[in-house]
């Protein structure tokens, strides 16, 4: 179908609120930007600072060099650890090599690390609910000795899990999971192990929770939901899944407006738009503008939770 054939047809656009950057992502990006300002380029970053192609490309253009391991970093330049957190072996290696490093781990991920260590110190076997291979999961598992943490990804994993001592368990979760999927897994574990204690505070972060609740509200009223985010962004992929379950006829993950298939809009009267926690607001604005070029749009802002959380930067970056 050509753009002309759908020109100016009425279309309601519903914007989920909150959407886009969270406090942890904002802090991580600022750490790289401030490091570049203070120390000059290049600044090395272990792993993508956050999972968004546009953010990474912009920082690369400013002088950030993204690497996967510390052995790719010279000893005379700063290195930043990503927002997802790192195993304890990484700062230990940095100190061994006398690297100057800045830790951009989201404080809410660090909270999960502390919770896992506290339970391990109390002699409990740790269950981590999360996705294998995700850097946050690797970072959390890497806080403790090998074999101390058992990863559970699905309800089936939870059914098969055989602990060393059923009465001496604790669980933590990845911060960017689906609320509903995680609740299902925890439900299985609690049915099998009734004494399983909850973390002191919910591990799935406020931003993940707020964005999933917002997309649920929007998806119930939409034929199509577009989620702006990169494919390796866990929280963005979860938003697509949540939108589909909440009733949207179709939900798609898009890096930006340029990859939208306008055929998706066939028969669509209402489209919802949200963005993962690592997607910048200009991408949302560009998508709304691209839709407005093709349709007679009525843009409605959802009334969702107001986020006022901020996290401090490392002191060394605020010193003159």
Three-state DSSP at 196 gives coil
Active-site amino acid positions: 136
Those residues whose C-beta lies under 8 Å from the C-beta of residue 213, and which sit 6 or more positions away, are: 304, 305
Those residues whose C-beta lies under 8 Å from the C-beta of residue 220, and which sit 6 or more positions away, are: 246, 247
> Which residues, listed in sequence order, are joined to residue 43 by a DSSP beta bridge?
64
Phi, psi of 144 (to 5 degrees): -125, 165
C-beta separation of 239 from 252 below 8 A? no
- Residue with tokens 């991920």, as numbered in its chain: 109
- Measured from the Cβ of residue 141, the count of other Cβ atoms closer than 10 Å reads 20
CA 302-303-304 angle, to 5 degrees, is 105
Those residues whose C-beta lies under 8 Å from the C-beta of residue 259, and which sit 6 or more positions away, are: none
Phi, psi of 147 (to 5 degrees): 90, -10
Residue 102: its H or E element: strand 101-103
**DSSP labels, 288-300:** HHHHHHHEEEEEE
Residue closest to 274 by CA, chosen among 220, 223, 313, 236: 236
- 44 vs 79: CA distance, rounded Å: 4
* Core vs surface per residue 241-276: b (16+ CB within 10 A) or e: bbbeebebebbbbbbbbeebeeebbeebebbbbbbb
- 198 vs 172: CA distance, rounded Å: 8
C-beta separation of 119 from 140 below 8 A? no
């Amino acid at each position: 179908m050509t753009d002309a054939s759908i020109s100016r047809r009425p279309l309601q656009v519903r914007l989920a609120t909150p959407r886009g950057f969270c406090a942890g992502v904002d802090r991580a990006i600022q750490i790289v930007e401030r490091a570049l300002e203070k120390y000059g380029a290049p600044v090395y970053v272990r792993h993508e600072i956050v999972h968004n192609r546009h953010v990474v490309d912009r920082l690369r253009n400013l002088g950030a060099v993204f690497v996967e391991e510390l052995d790719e970093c010279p000893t005379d330049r700063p290195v930043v650890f990503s927002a997802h957190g790192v195993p304890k072996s990484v700062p230990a290696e940095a100190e061994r090599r006398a690297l100057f490093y800045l830790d951009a781990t989201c404080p809410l991920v660090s909270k999960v690390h502390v919770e896992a260590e506290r339970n391990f110190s109390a002699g409990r076997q740790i269950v981590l609910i999360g996705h294998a291979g995700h850097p946050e999961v690797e970072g959390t598992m890497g806080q403790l000795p090998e074999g101390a943490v058992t990863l559970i990804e699905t309800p089936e994993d939870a059914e098969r899990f055989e602990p060393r001592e059923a009465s001496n368990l604790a669980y933590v979760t990845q911060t960017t999971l689906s609320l509903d999927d995680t609740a299902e897994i925890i439900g299985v574990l609690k049915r099998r192990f009734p004494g399983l204690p909850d973390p002191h505070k919910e591990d799935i972060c406020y931003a993940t929770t707020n964005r999933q609740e917002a997309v649920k509200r929007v998806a119930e009223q939409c034929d199509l939901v577009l989620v702006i985010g990169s494919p390796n962004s866990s929280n963005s992929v979860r938003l697509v899944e949540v939108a589909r379950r909440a009733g949207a006829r179709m939900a798609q993950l898009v890096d930006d407006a340029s990859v939208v298939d306008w055929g998706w809009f066939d028969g669509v009267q209402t489209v919802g738009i949200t963005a993962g926690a690592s997607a910048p607001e200009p991408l949302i604005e560009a998508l709304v503008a691209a839709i407005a070029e093709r349709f007679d749009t009525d843009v409605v802002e959802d009334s969702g939770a107001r986020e006022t959380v901020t996290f401090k930067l490392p002191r060394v970056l605020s010193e003159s």
